[in-house]
Structure 1
Amino acid sequence: MQKLAASLREDILSGAYQLGAKLPSEAALTESHEVSRTVVREAIASLRSDGLVEARQGAGVFVISQSMPSSSMLKSFSPNKISSIIELLELRTAVEVEAAALAAKRRSPAQEGAILEACGEMRALIEVGESTVEADFEFHMAIAAATNNRRFSEFLELMGNRVIPRQRLESSEEEAATRRYLQQILAEHEKICRAISDQDEKGARDAMRLHLEGSGNRYRELLR
């Protein structure tokens, strides 16, 4: 993933892809770089985190900047430190709990569909044993978009898929334990989906809080 992200990043910064240009499709990048779709998705997520590209639903991924940000909101974040992961989950809880309630109140039918689609994508990836990191990120991005307040989307875009810090878990040799964990995450996502579909603001708020605080508690157990 890092090699592909670095290659695309260099192409953007060097001007090979101009401002407003559309990147090659996921299928084209998969073929040209001889990598899996999962690798492509995570590389694009890294570029989004850098603020270089944005994904436009149904249209593709477009270059929005040709320079790296001078500083990072999360420059001290370390994905290998459980304490950092817990801090990030607390920050996400402060933002995303209210985002879920606003999504339940304001979502359009198309935005509801995008949330359900992201949840379904995660379910499908679990079934075939592939990484769910990018699908999980897209689920939370779809909810942010459904608030119809772009600041929520910008917040998540700024952090990128670092908000889904379980790469270390998905690479674990304990496949059965990992699968159980992912099934639990999926069940929590589905509960959030139902509340947003039902336009249940309190239910969406409670379900998102349960999901994020539950994730924090699971990492605290690892810390212990």
Structure 2
Amino acid sequence: MATQTAARTGTLVYKVSEALRKAILDGEFLPGEKLPSEARLTQEHGVSRTVVREAVAALRSDGLVEPRQGAGVFVLDPIAFAFKKTKPTVDSDRIYTSLEILEARTPLEIEAAGLAALRRSPAQEEEIFECHAAGIAGRNDGKAWSDADIGLHLAIAKATNNPLFATFLEMQGTSIIPQTGQIDTDEGGEIAYRSLLIKEHERIVFAISNGDEQGARDAMREHLKGSLERYRNLLREERLRHMACLRQDSES
């Protein structure tokens, strides 16, 4: 009987932790937000406080939440969760290329977003919204997501009605979205990463639709600067890992 009770408890812990994990990765709880109280989670999921505590502990071990004494349990940035799951080694040459492309894209696409807010036609605005919707629908599918991501950036460039913006991006091909094939995470981490990008895209899309030139520029700047910072951190970690390996080799 004791064994059956333990097994049932374990199953309930898994169900509750997975439900909370999905809510966090789907963006229902944003970074910095507090999870519902233990009493509320107990009521919502129909389980004991022990099950809720163990489920939250599982999320904590994954780096998705952080209990704060006297304040509650708070959601952490799911991007940290995604990058925590990366492979032990990274192709440094590819990251350098990604950084170079992002640096070149940043001023160009900031300007493109501002111009698109001013110049987009109704048809171009509709295409931007369609690409954004395709990204939301395809976030669980790597190929569909990548195509939609590229399509959105190209649609914004075309909405400037200056063909040189789109020509520059088209010349880069799939490399204009450098995270493709470089961030290898488990499924949850990958979805968390895309969910954050979807929110960044949403700010850009709505600013363009509202004709908010400065808002569109600011949203695009935040989006691309964030990507630059994430890749710089990834490269920095790879350098530290390489140095640690060299020290180990010299000591052996």
TM-score normalised to structure 2 length? 0.55
Within 1, Cα distance between the matches of 2:191 and 2:200?
14
- 1:102 pairs, out of 100, 105, 115, with 115
Corresponding residue for residue 210 of structure 1: 222
Corresponding residue for residue 196 of structure 1: 208
1:81: Cα distance to partner?
2.0
Within 1, Cα distance between the matches of 2:104 and 2:138?
27
Corresponding residue for residue 181 of structure 1: 193
Q: How many residues align?
A: 145
1:65-104 equivalence runs, <5 A: 81-104=94-117
Within 1, Cα distance between the matches of 2:205 and 2:115?
13
Within 2, Cα distance between the matches of 1:173 and 1:186?
18
1:221: Cα distance to partner?
1.1
Amino acid at match of 2:212: D
1:25-64 equivalence runs, <5 A: none
- Per-residue CA deviation, residues 13-65 of structure 1 (Å, 9 max, x unaligned), is xxxxxxxxxxxxxxxxxxxxxxxxxxxxxxxxxxxxxxxxxxxxxxxxxxxxx
Where 1:167 maps in the other structure, the secondary structure is coil
Corresponding residue for residue 59 of structure 1: none
Query: Cα RMSD (Å) of the superposition?
Result: 1.6
Amino acid at match of 1:197: S
Corresponding residue for residue 159 of structure 1: 172
Unaligned runs of 5+ in 2: 1-90, 237-252
Task: Determine if contact 1:188/1:211 at 8 Å carries over to the other structure.
Answer: yes
Identity %: 47
- Identify if the C-alpha distance between structure 1 residues 189 and 202 changes in structure 2 by more than 3 Å, giving closer, same or farther: same
- Identify if the C-alpha distance between structure 1 residues 108 and 86 changes in structure 2 by more than 3 Å, giving closer, same or farther: same
- 2:126 pairs, out of 110, 113, 117, with 113
Amino acid at match of 2:146: V
Within 2, Cα distance between the matches of 1:117 and 1:173?
27
Within 2, Cα distance between the matches of 1:118 and 1:79?
31
Higher percent of residues as helix: 2
Within 2, Cα distance between the matches of 1:124 and 1:114?
15
Within 2, Cα distance between the matches of 1:201 and 1:167?
29
Corresponding residue for residue 16 of structure 1: none
Within 2, Cα distance between the matches of 1:169 and 1:108?
35
- Per-residue CA deviation, residues 85-111 of structure 1 (Å, 9 max, x unaligned), is 111101000210000000000001111
Within 2, Cα distance between the matches of 1:150 and 1:176?
38
- Per-residue CA deviation, residues 141-192 of structure 1 (Å, 9 max, x unaligned), is 100110011111111111111111122246x242211111100111000100
1:134: Cα distance to partner?
1.4
Task: Determine if contact 1:79/1:85 at 8 Å carries over to the other structure.
Answer: no
Residue 136 (structure 1) aligned with residue 149 (structure 2): yes
